[in-house]
Amino acid sequence: MIKLENVTKIYPPDVKALYKVNLHIKPGEFVSIVGQSGTGKTTLVKILIGEEKPSQGKIVVGGWDITNIGPAEIPVLRRQIGVVFQDFKLLHRKTLFENVCFALQVCGEPQSKINNIVPQVLKIVGLENKMHRYPLEVSGGEQQRAVIARALVHRPKILLADEPTGNLDSINADEIIEILQKINKFGTTVLLVTHNRDVVNKLRKRVITIENGLIVGDQAVGKYIL
């Protein structure tokens, strides 16, 4: 599903965010990528969504070589990958319902389909009663659930979650991880980037550890070892 071959990312003048990273994530896996702040986790996410280009190496996502992806192809790639961010990145002037709709509207999906799917997805994340509220009118946990709904709405094969619990208390964080696990059970490959030790240890799934841009650990059923 995701394949990285000798991927290196160097920021000018000579900061090595990632160095010769080799990674293979199979369809349906739930993988946690752990590491301390500034070790290259977010750079990895940015490369996977086409926000950054690698300095060297090859990246294949869902059979698509995105190493040298062009600007016109980036929106197409992003419609195939669901992304959840730590700072939610919701449009404040749209309701939660409209935020989720937007991800389908940019793809040109018909309104009838949107009106059918969006309430279902919002129900999965438990927001059916708050869908017409604006992001700033709900809690952080609810905002993050709306982000997950938005990421899921076009049924992506891959879900990237970059520190999704970073701004949440432990109760909300647990709820978000539960939702991610539920999504994974439906067959979606989930890539969870985090430095939350408790979350990773509870999951008991594959853990990849990054340190100073290098992969220093890859355990099939791992723990947060740093």
Where along the sequence are the contacts to another protein (CB under 8 A)?
Answer: 49, 51, 71-72, 74-79, 83, 85, 89-93, 102-103, 105-108, 110-111, 150
Distance separating alpha carbons of residues 150 and 8, to the nearest angstrom: 30
Angle in degrees, CA 219, 33, 156, rounded to 5: 110
Q: For another protein, which is the closer residue by CB, 90 or 203? A: 90
Q: For another protein, which is the closer residue by CB, 109 or 211? A: 109
Please, what is the minimum distance in Å from the beta carbon of residue 99 to another protein? Answer: 9
- The CA distances from residue 94 to 75, 99, 105, 108, 114, in Å, are 20, 6, 13, 18, 15
Q: For another protein, which is the closer residue by CB, 16 or 94? A: 94
Secondary structure (3-state) at 66: coil
Please, what is the minimum distance in Å from the beta carbon of residue 215 to another protein? Answer: 26
Please, what is the minimum distance in Å from the beta carbon of residue 135 to another protein? Answer: 11
Please, what is the minimum distance in Å from the beta carbon of residue 116 to another protein? Answer: 16
Q: For another protein, which is the closer residue by CB, 12 or 108? A: 108
* Residue with token string 């991927």: 7
Q: Are 209 and 202 contacting, i.e. CB atoms less than 8 angstroms apart?
A: no
